[in-house]
Chain A
Amino acid sequence: MSDTHEAVVAAARRSYGRLVAYLASRMQDLAGAEDALADAFERALLTWPRDGVPDNPDAWLLTTARRRLLDDVRHARVRREAEPLLILMMDNPAEPADAFPDERLKLLFVCAHPAIDVGVRTPLMLQAVLGLDAATIASAFLVAPVSMGQRLVRAKTKIRAAGIAFEVPGEGDLPARLETVLDAIYAAYGTGWDASGANGRHASLAREAVDLARVLVALMPDQPEALGLLSLMLYCESRREARRDEANRYVPLAKQDVSRWSRTLIGEAGQLLQHAGTMGHIGRYQLEAAIQSVHAQRALTGTTHWDIIARFYGELLRLAPTIGAQVGEAAAVAEWRGAQAGLDRLDAMDADEVQRYQPWWAVRAHLLAATGRVAEARPAYERAMGLAEDAEVRSFLAGRLAALDDTSA
């Protein structure tokens, strides 16, 4: 019984996204496809223990889902416009159930469509492409499970009602549309800032984000920014183990033991970035990956070329002037040209915008301490602590704060 149960779970994990994508793109209806598949999985749990796991579980699931849809057509439970498509799908010998095409790319573009609220694009992808349940997604995004469920339902209703097409955008639209897909995948990964990104609540989704990027790269191998995004995330992942010491305390990037960085991931990230670089189109994600590649160099050379990092940040700011990139640049400039130069950059930022941005306060506290402005560093450390979500980051900052008091006493 439990073996069968595992076979169903394995089939779900392996093929869920492909099955949903295939059905949804034929029906032009994501919610309907998910319902039909949920039904098929439920049936699998009932019949596989009795009849054994079929030779081709995916084909079985697809056939079962199709039958359920055909049933819906007969009982007029699907909208009229979808009927001819569905009937075509049932009868089309060109698309046998055991060799159905991979339509996940279309699904990714639908989930990240500009007509879909930006806050629900990532959750939608995680659910439709990877099969994550709403409660897990809600926790990762710190949203009440009920609200997350409602937002997902609303988005799927919109896909159907607005007739959002399940297709890969044409050449003209592609750059802008691809950007929304990349952004949504990256949103699953985290903020990208090393102090909080991929260490906070998003850490639970880091692997899922990498999975999504791998799907995208496999389906669009000639898009340099897709390669750049995967490279960026793999560089960050390569340092996962080194972000905590044996006592599980937070270790900032500069203090990390490079022998604990994953050479395998650094190698793969480097290859992806290099390959992207040959395509002659630089973009935000390639630049962010390039910054991480400079950090990764430390494992080989023992030093960090802050001048190069600062220049990459400068380029990045021209393309995408995000608050994270601004703070990143300030930190890099501080390492390169001295703390005061970094502080000047931080001071030039919009005061309202940084008020609740934890990395700004953490970097500012660090730089104030470095320039001997202890009295100002103290409240900055306190603010950084108060805005930190990770208890280990908070302890780390408390330690810095205590050290400050020791030196000033």
Chain B
Amino acid sequence: MKYALCFYETADNFAARTSGNAPEYWSAWKAYAGALGDRITGGSALQSPATATTVAVRGGKRQVQDGPYADTKEQLGGFMLIEAANLDEALEWAAKCPAAATGRVEVRPALSTQSM
């Protein structure tokens, strides 16, 4: 089954990407993606939440807002689509990702096109 792993990272995590800790931050992610190997079928790391722009259209009127949709302590830092046998296995992988130790990982089964 296909699962989306959504990585919610802390402000410290985002800061680490460009700080002196950057090599450690990225090497952990590189190692994680390497271990997943070809189980990864898609996804991307995302730039910092400050670069986000949120759009809505209400009653024909466009609303554009600087910043991410929700103002929460942890922000979406990236996502992966992975192939896993079942939820237990997807949770195993989620626990191993670097974001799990400080932020949170949301695991969601992908909706198959047949059910749309």
Chain A positions within 8 Å of B, measured between CB atoms, are 142-144, 147, 201, 356, 379, 382-389, 391, 394-395, 398, 401-402
Contacts and interface: CB of A to CB of B under 8 A. Distances in A.
B96 A382 contact: no
B88 interface: yes
Contacts of A389: 95-96, 100
A388 B34 contact: no
Nearest to A397: B31
Interface stretch (B22-30, B58-66, B67-75): B22-30
Contacts of B101: 391, 394
Contacts of A387: 35, 96
B87 A386 contact: no
Contacts of B24: 395, 398
Contact of B28 (A143, A144, A379, A394): A394
B98 interface: yes
Contacts of A388: 96
Contact of A401 (B27, B91, B98): B27
Interface in B55-110: 87-88, 91-92, 95-96, 98, 100-102
A388 B93 CA distance: 10
A395 B16 CA distance: 14
A383 B30 CA distance: 9
B31 A144 contact: no
Contacts of A398: 24, 27-28
Contacts of B87: 144, 147
Contacts of A402: 23
B46 interface: no
B8 to A, nearest CB: 16
A402 B23 CA distance: 10
B95 A385 contact: no
A88 to B, nearest CB: 43
Interface residues on B, range: 20 to 34
A383 B34 contact: yes
Q: Which 7 A-B pairs have the closest CB atoms?
A: A386-B35, A391-B101, A385-B31, A386-B31, A382-B31, A386-B32, A387-B35
B88 A385 contact: no
A147 B30 CA distance: 31
B102 to A, nearest CB: 7
B36 interface: yes
B111 interface: no
A143 B88 CA distance: 6
B45 interface: no
Contacts of B34: 379, 382-383, 386
B25 to A, nearest CB: 10
20 contacts: A142-B91, A142-B95, A147-B87, A356-B35, A379-B34, A382-B31, A382-B34, A383-B31, A385-B32, A386-B34, A386-B35, A386-B36, A389-B95, A389-B96, A391-B98, A391-B101, A394-B28, A395-B24, A398-B28, A401-B27
B33 interface: yes
A382 B102 contact: no
A394 B98 contact: yes
A147 B96 CA distance: 20
Nearest to B33: A386
B92 A391 contact: no
B95 A201 contact: yes
A143, A147, A388, most chain B CB atoms within 10 A: A388
A138 B58 CA distance: 42
Contacts of A143: 88, 91
A359 B98 CA distance: 18
A184 B100 CA distance: 27
Contacts of A384: 31
Given A382-B34, A387-B96, A398-B24, 18 more contacts: A142-B95, A143-B88, A147-B87, A356-B35, A382-B27, A383-B31, A383-B35, A384-B31, A385-B35, A386-B33, A386-B34, A386-B36, A387-B35, A394-B98, A394-B101, A398-B27, A398-B28, A402-B23
Contacts of A385: 27-28, 31-32, 35
Contacts of B91: 142-144
Contacts of A382: 27, 30-31, 34
B4 to A, nearest CB: 15
Contacts of B35: 356, 383, 385-387
A156 B96 CA distance: 32
Interface string B6-47: 000000000000000001100110111111100000000000
A353 to B, nearest CB: 15
B99 to A, nearest CB: 10
A275 B40 CA distance: 52
Contacts of B100: 389
A10 to B, nearest CB: 33
A155 B35 CA distance: 34
